[in-house]
């Protein structure tokens, strides 16, 4: 089985005075993966950016670099794509590996362990705090199967931390999340990353989209979806196990992967620098993840 999605992600910046120069980086192109096929993708900038290029970053994400030199008070970034997702399948035997044996530093016998090791280290938004280490220890009993331990940690995070859009910002630390016991999807991902990495496990931050369904009897509201974040844990010899603590579930064919890295700071949808005398600005984001019927 597979699911086909048509995705539209519009980011609009508005300013109260001219911007003479805007330089940016966008992570808006979904990844081509064994379980995800990108049929079509496009990125339109208004005003146009004559100076624009694409490159793959260290983690294999598509980064779009652009510079808009035409004076403007509105910058519109529209990314569209058609993606087919089948979802990942993991071996029961690999998930049953004792978690201590899933540390990349101890698995020189596994070909990609050296690369995974980078994602077992602390990163700017994922401090390996003592509180994170203690919280993880409750799930990481000696000899416990990796898959079982990770799923329980996901369930505990979902239960113990409240979803609250007003509680945090993009620069919130792991210590802040523990203090407030609240946050949004990127915070829950950062918290679990800190917990797992503090015990030597490799885990990566993943950004993308989650296809949602309207309540019974209600129509889909076009443009009402949002970007989403989750995490994936390295499983020796079997890829990465992706889990979503925000929704307390394993990642499946309703998730579209755009980019991954150490934390949110590696793969924000759009970031940049502007040159202007504007005193105020607004940001508007509209995301739509629409299921596509065969033949559409």
What would the pLDDT profile of 218-263 be if each residue is shown by its tens digit? Answer: 665 554 588 999 999 999 999 999 999 999 999 999 999 999 999 9
Asked whether residue 293 carries a pLDDT value surpassing 90, the answer given is no
Q: What is the pTM (predicted TM-score) of this model? A: 0.94
Query: Are 228 and 186 a contacting pair, CB within 8 Å?
Result: no
Asked whether residue 282 carries a pLDDT value surpassing 70, the answer given is yes
**Mean confidence (pLDDT) of the chain:** 94
Percent of the chain with pLDDT over 70: 95
Q: What pLDDT score does 87 carry? A: 83
Q: Average pLDDT in the 34-53 region?
A: 96
Q: What pLDDT score does 6 carry? A: 96
Distance CA 96, CA 195 (A): 20
Asked whether residue 123 carries a pLDDT value surpassing 60, the answer given is yes
Asked whether residue 215 carries a pLDDT value surpassing 90, the answer given is no
Q: Average pLDDT in the 173-202 region?
A: 96
Letter string b/e over residues 75-113, b meaning 16 or more CB atoms within 10 A of that residue's CB: bebbbbbbbbbebbeeeeebbebebeebbbeebeebeeb
**pLDDT band, very low/low/confident/very high, at 153 (cuts 50, 70, 90):** very high
**pLDDT band, very low/low/confident/very high, at 212 (cuts 50, 70, 90):** confident
- Taking 3-state DSSP, the helix, strand and coil percentages for the chain, each rounded to the nearest 5, stand at 20, 40, 35
Q: What pLDDT score does 106 carry? A: 92
Query: Are 175 and 77 a contacting pair, CB within 8 Å?
Result: no
Residue whose token pair is 């980019």: 259
> Does residue 213 or residue 30 have the better pLDDT?
30
For the chain, domain boundaries? 3-85+268-291, 92-264
* Domain 3-85+268-291 in CATH 2.60.40.2250: yes
Asked whether residue 55 carries a pLDDT value surpassing 80, the answer given is yes
Percent of the chain with pLDDT over 90: 90
> Which CATH architecture fits 92-264?
Roll (3.10)
Asked whether residue 130 carries a pLDDT value surpassing 90, the answer given is yes
Q: What pLDDT score does 31 carry? A: 98
Q: What pLDDT score does 182 carry? A: 95
Q: What pLDDT score does 221 carry? A: 52
> Does residue 184 or residue 296 have the better pLDDT?
184
Asked whether residue 296 carries a pLDDT value surpassing 60, the answer given is no
Q: β-strand 36-46 against 72-85: which pairing, if any? A: antiparallel
Residue whose token pair is 């995974």: 116
155 DSSP assignment: H
Q: What pLDDT score does 213 carry? A: 75
Q: Average pLDDT in the 159-176 region?
A: 92
Q: What is the 3-state secondary structure (H, E, C) of 187-229?
A: HHHHHHHHHHHCCCCCEEEEEEEECCCCCCCCCCCCCEECEEE
């Amino acid at each position: 089985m597979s699911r086909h999605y048509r995705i539209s992600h519009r980011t609009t910046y508005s300013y109260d005075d001219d911007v003479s120069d805007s330089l940016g980086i966008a992570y808006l192109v979904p990844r081509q993966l064994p379980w995800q096929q990108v049929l079509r993708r496009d990125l339109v900038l208004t005003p146009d950016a004559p100076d624009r290029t694409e490159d793959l970053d260290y983690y294999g994400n598509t980064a779009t670099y652009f510079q808009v030199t035409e004076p403007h008070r509105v910058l519109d970034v529209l990314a569209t794509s058609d993606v087919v997702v089948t979802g990942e399948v993991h071996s029961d035997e690999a998930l049953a590996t004792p978690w201590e044996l899933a540390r990349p530093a101890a698995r020189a016998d596994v070909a990609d362990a050296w690369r995974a090791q980078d994602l077992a280290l602390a990163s700017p938004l994922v401090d390996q705090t003592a509180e994170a280490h203690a919280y993880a220890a409750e799930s990481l009993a000696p000899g416990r199967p990796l898959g079982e331990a990770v799923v329980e940690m996901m369930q505990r995070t979902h239960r113990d931390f409240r979803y609250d859009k007003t509680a945090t910002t993009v620069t919130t630390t792991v210590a802040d999340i523990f203090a407030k016991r609240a946050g949004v999807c990127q915070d829950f991902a950062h918290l679990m990353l800190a917990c797992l990495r503090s015990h030597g496990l490799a885990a990566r931050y993943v950004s993308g989209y989650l296809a949602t369904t309207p309540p019974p009897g209600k129509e889909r509201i076009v443009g009402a979806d949002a970007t989403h974040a989750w995490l994936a844990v390295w499983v020796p010899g079997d890829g990465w196990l992706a889990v979503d603590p925000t929704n307390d579930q394993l990642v499946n064919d309703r998730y579209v992967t755009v980019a991954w890295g150490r934390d949110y700071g590696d793969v924000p949808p759009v970031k940049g620098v502007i040159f202007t005398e504007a005193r105020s600005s607004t940001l508007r984001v509209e995301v739509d993840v629409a299921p596509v019927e065969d033949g559409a």
